[in-house]
Structure 1
């Protein structure tokens, strides 16, 4: 492991977290599709660079962030972006509480403010799903200043030295929009591809150890077909996602493979032609 990563890991492992914070430390398990990808991302995180993970649905972006949390034993605050995301969802909100018999207004920190103050990892999922006007509030947080002024309280918040930011995007999906250049330029960007066949098989076997080898073989064969059709533009990327394949394999332990694939993969697709194609591909491998 890179010496810089080891130094950062050692410093963070020595930190003391509350019982509540320990519940926010994720499990690992990410398998890197290339030799250096995971270590290179860790180096960027160690240098306090905001990291942007780009890749198709199910390629392991969230699992990668969780694995960094596990490696550094560092709690993770998550933001799931949508068109409804607003400043309150990011920073927090004011509420009325009772203290010593008096009603007082108190500010409840949101995930961004909590991560900044406590030195947690901030994971922003599907950042290109958010409305462009929502995210500029994060600009000063993502550059060399590593601070922001809370518009709800006027508080100037300087990020804890361990604070890290990881964002993820699914490029080209319905409902997404190109990232604003001013926002994108604040990140170091990494492409996260799907796993190679041998790596995928190990992930499937580790995730569903009770599955028979013949069933794993069938899912692997189907995965190859799904990936080819997705590459040719005939299927949505999520049809070949690792997440969907694991779901299908887990179901296939308890039911026929064709039904497992139908429920875990085909029925999630909106286009009927795509659903039919998945079922047809499955039928070629299920006798």
Structure 2
């Protein structure tokens, strides 16, 4: 069992299944992942999902009809798949929709060592003997949260197959080790995301999995919208944000020609945040944009040249 899972289980052991009341008001961020939920576990007597409430509105700049489409999908509890490049806003969108719908959000960062037990739960030993502890997927299904599996293709296929009974008309989760079947709460929804640009024959979803989901495509916004987002999230002026977007657009043209991915909106916000703190633009771009994305000397020179063009 990895450390993250142990912390989640330890936190959930302190919580009782009382009716879900008002939000806690204790969350410092827009959404709580399993790691942070363990650090801010609800006191005894609070609902097991209290720590996963999205208590503040995340900023989301709609670029199409994605909000309306997601709301329609949630109304029929359709499982959803978000596809798009890294750092384009998939996770933020899920956080925003959880807030807008007033539903708790449990986020799981998928990785190749994640097992089915990490998702559904396992028996644990404590001073009183053996007890069962729900995993994040079981917790969401049992009590009615949106469960978000981030970068789901990073998990092994024999792990992700456990979501199948939850993504068809059965809407159930068998806990084979416990001999229990969880009937999904009416509010439960499953959302997954991945970056199609990183797909390969070894890292892709089975067709039997893909066809259980509706899908929304995400990409980096058009120039003016992306600049608005960068300015809002970082605090820099709009003109500086536009310069950063110009640099990002140049890098994205190099995808497949020396770069696996161009500069993401997330990276632009990092650079802009440094500039807003008084860091010189050239230095901020080197630290937050150029150095993280490549170690190739020629490619760094090309990106540095793009930076100096605007700064």
TM-score scaled by length of structure 1 = 0.85
Residues 107 and 147, structure 2, Cα contact 8 Å, conserved in 1: yes
Residues 28 and 71, structure 1, Cα contact 8 Å, conserved in 2: no
Measured on the aligned residues, the alpha-carbon RMSD in Å equals 2.0
Tell me, yes or no, if structure 1 residue 149 matches structure 2 residue 179.
no
Q: How far has the Cα of 1:110 moved from its partner?
A: 0.8
Aligned equivalents of 2:122 and 2:300: distance in 1?
Answer: 43
Q: Alignment partner of 2:158: what SS? A: coil
Residues 54 and 191, structure 1, Cα contact 8 Å, conserved in 2: yes
Q: How far has the Cα of 1:132 moved from its partner?
A: 1.2
Residues 53 and 167, structure 1, Cα contact 8 Å, conserved in 2: yes
Tell me, yes or no, if structure 1 residue 267 matches structure 2 residue 267.
no
Pairwise mapping of residues 7-26 of structure 1 onto structure 2 (< 5 A)? Answer: 16=21, 19=24, 20=42, 21-26=49-54
Tell me, yes or no, if structure 1 residue 32 matches structure 2 residue 68.
no
Could you say which residue in structure 1 is the equivalent of 2:123?
94
Change in 2 beyond 3 A, CA 1:42/1:113: same
Deviations 1:39-94 (A, max 9, x none): 11221122111000000001100001000111012111111111101012101222
Aligned equivalents of 2:247 and 2:280: distance in 1?
Answer: 14
Aligned equivalents of 1:158 and 1:167: distance in 2?
Answer: 20
Aligned equivalents of 2:206 and 2:226: distance in 1?
Answer: 34
Deviations 1:190-248 (A, max 9, x none): 11111111211221121122x24443242132233223333x644332x3211100001
Aligned equivalents of 1:49 and 1:233: distance in 2?
Answer: 38
Change in 2 beyond 3 A, CA 1:213/1:146: closer
Q: Which has the higher contact order (CA 8 A, sep 6+)?
A: 1
Deviates more, 1:18-27 or 1:54-63: 18-27
Structure 2 portions without partners, runs of 5+:
1-19, 25-41, 43-48
Paired residues, number: 264
Tell me, yes or no, if structure 1 residue 137 matches structure 2 residue 162.
yes
Change in 2 beyond 3 A, CA 1:274/1:147: farther
Aligned equivalents of 1:275 and 1:107: distance in 2?
Answer: 52
Q: How far has the Cα of 1:25 moved from its partner?
A: 2.3
Could you say which residue in structure 2 is the equivalent of 1:185?
211
TM-score scaled by length of structure 2 = 0.79
Structure 1 portions without partners, runs of 5+:
1-14
Q: Alignment partner of 1:202: what SS? A: helix
